[in-house]
Amino acid sequence: MANQSSPYPILCASFNQDNSGFAISTKDGFKIIDSNTGRLCYDRAVGAFIIVEMLYSSSLLAIVGAGEQPSLSPRRLCFFNTTTGAPLREMNFLTSILAVRLNRKRLVVVLQEKTYIYDSNSLSMLDTIDTVPNLKGLCAFSPSLEGCFLALPASTAKGAVLVYNVMELQLHCEIDAHRSPLAAIALSSNGKYIATASEQGTIIRIHLVSEATKSYSFRRGTCSSTIFSLSFAPSLQLPDILVATSSSGSVHIFSLGFETNQRTKKSGSFLGSILPCSVNDALDPAHHHVLHNAVSAGVRSYAVVRKVDNVADSSSSEIASCRAIISLIAYNGYFQEYAFTLNSQNESTWSLEREFNLVAVISGNAETS
C-alpha cells in the first residue's frame, strides 16, 4: 500500500499477516503500532520509506526507501531488525521495488514487469515470473503455508488475474474477473478465496481459488469509484465478511456468512453452500452494508477485518449475530476502529470504538478522541 507521490502525511501503510500490528511511513521515518492497543512498538526517524512490511510480530521488517537520499534507494530491499536497530541484509534490483510480501517460508518482490520468489530463510531465488506492466505493484498474497498463493494482474486491457502457487512454484490458474483492468485484489488468509475489483469500481467479485469459479458478485454502487483496498475476515473456514474502502470515503462490508447459512438450508451439497442461488441473489443489496463518510472523499484509506466473533442463538445451534472489528488507516494521518454488528435478519450497526492521530503517536497508548 505504497503511495510515493501522496499529498498526505502517510506514504505507506501495511498490516502484518494476522492484523495484530501495522506499520506506517511518513517523510521522516516509519512506525510499528500494536493494533489492539494503539501502542507505539517501534519508531525510526531516518527518512522516507515507500514499503514497510512486517513478519507477524517478529523483529524482522522488509523496508524500501523512497529515494530521497542515496542510502534509501527504491531499488534496494533492506531486511531490518528492530531489536538491534540494524540492517540484516540488503538486496538490490535493476528497477524500483513496487511491492513486497512475505511469510515464514516465502518472500515475494514485485517489480514493474517481473516478480521474484525467494526462500525467506536463505534468500535464495526460487522462481521468476514475467508479468504484464504492473505500474502500481498490484498483488495479493495469502500467508498460510497450506494455501499460499500469489495473485498478480494478467492483463492491462481487462481484469484478468494470474494465481500462482508460491509453495509449489507453479501457475495455479488464470481468472477473467472483469472487463476493465484491475484496481484491487485480495486473497483470504487461507488462500481459498480471491476478491477483485476493476477500475470501474462498481462490482466486487469473489472466486473460489481451487476451482477458479465465481462464488459471489456484489455491487458496490452504480457510480464509478476507485477501490483502495479489499480485505477478508480472518476466518479459518469461510470468510464471513469482506471489507472494502473506496475514493467515495465510505467503508463497504459484504457479508458472506449468513448468506452461506441460508443457502445451506436450500441445498445440502458443498457447492450449494457456497454458490449463489441466482445472479439476482448475489447482487442483492441486502448483502451490502455501508458506512458513509468514514474519511473525506478522495483520501486514500486501507481497512482490514481484525476479528470476527459469531454469537449463537441460545435456543438453537444457528448463528444469531456476528461482531467484527474493522481497523482503518486513512492516509491523511488517522486510525479508526469500528465495531460492526450484523444479526440474522441482516440488520447492521456501526460503532466507532476509537480514533487517534497516527503522526502524533509518540509513546505509550494512543490517545482516542
Number of structural domains (the chain) is 2
Query: Does 25 fall in a domain?
Result: yes
Low-confidence ranges of the chain (pLDDT < 70): 1-6, 235-239, 257-286, 314-319, 362-369
Query: Does 59 fall in a domain?
Result: yes
CA distance linking residue 357 with residue 338, whole number of Å: 15
Amino acid (one-letter) located at 264: T
Query: Which tens digits make up the pLDDT trace of 331-360?
Result: 999 999 999 998 888 889 999 999 999 988
Query: Does 322 fall in a domain?
Result: yes
Query: Does 290 fall in a domain?
Result: yes
Q: How confident is the model at residue 239, as a pLDDT?
A: 57
Are 195 and 239 in contact, with CB atoms under 8 Å apart? no
Query: Does 340 fall in a domain?
Result: yes
331: closest CA among 9, 67, 1?
Answer: 9
Q: Hey, what's the cell of 203?
A: 462490482
Three-state DSSP state, 266: helix
Query: Does 21 fall in a domain?
Result: yes
159: closest CA among 194, 117, 189, 108?
Answer: 194
- For residue 82, give the CATH number of its domain: 2.40.10.480
Are 153 and 135 in contact, with CB atoms under 8 Å apart? no
Query: Does 217 fall in a domain?
Result: no
Domain boundaries, position 79? 9-97
Among residues 35, 67, 97, the one where a domain terminates is: 97
Among residues 80, 97, 114, the one where a domain terminates is: 97
CA distance linking residue 180 with residue 160, whole number of Å: 9
Q: How confident is the model at residue 333, as a pLDDT?
A: 96
Among residues 54, 72, 97, the one where a domain terminates is: 97
Query: Does 186 fall in a domain?
Result: no
CA distance linking residue 166 with residue 176, whole number of Å: 20
Q: What is this structure's pTM?
A: 0.89
